[in-house]
């Protein structure tokens, strides 16, 4: 996947510990199209690669916008991006979508927690441009910790669609969301991004109203998995090459070590770069990038974290 060199055109302190970076192509060319909800790989000045959602209007070809929350235990990614200045250069990858607007939805409800507002903000731009029915519910501990609060309160053309919920305890959020869910038709779709516990609550509230397949989740962090019972298995590529996967190795690592070219990025089951087709066998899904429907279909898997429930998998690299 070819990266694009970009220049930092603008830096804005959006909230406590959160800064927004507006990026333009270093060669002055316009960006290609992307769908609302997309994210990109960003390689910072220290060489650390992380994924960030694009939170500007999807139809803006002149620049892209990302928001970076400085994590207290940063391994060099967010801390480095909090040190960049206007004029500095970064590299970004091609936009990818793990969270996208559903076609034919009667209504869209966007539910954000903290920095999880970033992919949903781009969706709000797209829905407003299309004249679709939607609401954006944004939960944050306080206004000072809410990214893009001023934009959402005063400057966004879709501010009438925005409901801000500052300082609402986690225990009180389900009752508030239940009032929203009670008004939805089964044709509505719900999209959520934020801390795992927050997204679990959103799913629990809205799934009974619109169906679990109408609730779409965007993950930022990997899920802890018990690997103590992992066993070896065999992987065969559609080219006929066969590889033995030990209990303590991933498919991705074995293929890469063997010289097989596989797209990869986060290697934690979040970004979706290494998702490949499953032609035969039963995958053991351990990722946070495929939807519940995708996992149930069993015809694709994330090679970096997922394993096999059958003795053998036949896979097709995308």
CATH number for position 35: 2.40.30.10
Nearest to 219 by CA among 284, 295, 289: 289
**Cβ(117)–Cβ(99) below 8 Å:** no
Residue 101 within any structural domain of the chain: no
- Residue reference for tokens 């990869």: 264
Residue 207: partners with Cβ closer than 8 Å, 6 or more residues away: 214, 215
Residue 291 within any structural domain of the chain: yes
Give me the number of domains the chain comprises.
3
Looking at the fold, whether 211 and 265 belong to one and the same domain comes out as no
Task: Decide which of 44, 59, 92 is a domain's last residue.
Answer: 92
Looking at the fold, whether 78 and 119 belong to one and the same domain comes out as no
Looking at the fold, whether 88 and 118 belong to one and the same domain comes out as no
Residue 113: band (very low, low, confident or very high) from pLDDT cuts 50, 70, 90: very high
Rg for the chain, CA atoms, rounded? 20
Residue 227 within any structural domain of the chain: no
Looking at the fold, whether 117 and 210 belong to one and the same domain comes out as yes
Residue 98 within any structural domain of the chain: no
Which residue intervals of 131-183 are DSSP H helices?
A: 149-150, 173-181
d(CA 206, CA 199): 11
pLDDT at position 47: 85
d(CA 43, CA 49): 4
Looking at the fold, whether 119 and 202 belong to one and the same domain comes out as yes
Helix axes 196-210, 173-181, angle to 10 degrees: 30
**CA distances to 114, 210, 301 from 95, in Å:** 22, 29, 20
Average pLDDT of span 82-87: 94
Task: Decide which of 218, 243, 266 is a domain's last residue.
Answer: 218
Looking at the fold, whether 214 and 116 belong to one and the same domain comes out as yes
pLDDT in tens, 230-286: 999 999 999 999 999 999 999 999 999 999 998 887 788 877 888 999 999 999 999
Average pLDDT of the chain to the nearest whole number: 92
Residue 264 within any structural domain of the chain: yes
d(CA 257, CA 236): 15
Please, which residues bridge with residue 96 across strands? Answer: 39
User: Mapping DSSP to helix (H, G, I), strand (E, B) and coil, where does residue 302 land?
Assistant: strand
pLDDT at position 220: 64
Q: The domain spanning residue 258 has which CATH number?
A: 3.10.20.30
In the predicted model, is pLDDT for residue 78 greater than 90?
no
Residue 69 within any structural domain of the chain: yes
**Cβ(138)–Cβ(162) below 8 Å:** yes
Domain with 266 in it: 233-316
Please, which residues bridge with residue 5 across strands? Answer: 91
Residue 103 within any structural domain of the chain: no
């Amino acid at each position: 996947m070819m990266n694009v060199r970009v220049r930092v055109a603008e830096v804005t302190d959006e909230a406590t510990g959160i800064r927004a970076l507006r990026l333009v192509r270093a060669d002055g060319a316009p960006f290609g199209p992307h769908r609302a909800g997309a994210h990109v790989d960003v390689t910072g000045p220290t060489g650390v690669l992380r994924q960030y959602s694009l939170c500007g209007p999807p139809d803006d070809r002149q620049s892209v916008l990302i928001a970076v929350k400085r994590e207290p235990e940063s391994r060099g990614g967010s801390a480095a991006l909090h040190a960049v200045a206007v004029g500095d250069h970064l590299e970004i990858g091609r936009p990818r979508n793990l969270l996208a607007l559903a076609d034919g939805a009667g209504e869209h409800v966007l539910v954000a927690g903290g920095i999880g507002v970033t992919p949903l903000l781009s969706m709000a731009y797209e829905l407003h441009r299309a004249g679709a029915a939607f609401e954006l519910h944004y939960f944050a501990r306080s206004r000072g910790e809410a990214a893009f609060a001023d934009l959402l309160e005063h400057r966004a053309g879709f501010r009438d669609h925005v409901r801000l919920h500052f300082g609402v305890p986690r225990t009180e959020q389900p009752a508030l969301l239940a009032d929203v869910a009670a008004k939805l038709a089964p044709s509505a779709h719900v999209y959520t991004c934020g801390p795992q516990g927050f997204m679990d609550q959103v799913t629990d509230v809205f799934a009974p109203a619109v169906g679990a397949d109408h609730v779409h989740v965007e993950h930022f962090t990997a899920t802890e998995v018990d690997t103590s019972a992992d066993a070896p298995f065999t992987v065969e590529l559609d080219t006929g090459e066969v590889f033995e996967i030990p209990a303590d190795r991933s498919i991705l690592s074995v293929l890469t070590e063997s010289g097989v070219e596989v797209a990869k990025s986060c290697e934690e089951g979040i970004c979706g770069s290494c998702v490949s087709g499953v032609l035969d066998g039963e995958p053991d899904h351990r990722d946070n990038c495929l939807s519940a429907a995708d996992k149930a279909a069993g015809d694709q898997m994330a090679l970096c974290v997922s394993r096999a429930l059958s003795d053998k998998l036949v896979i097709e690299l995308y």
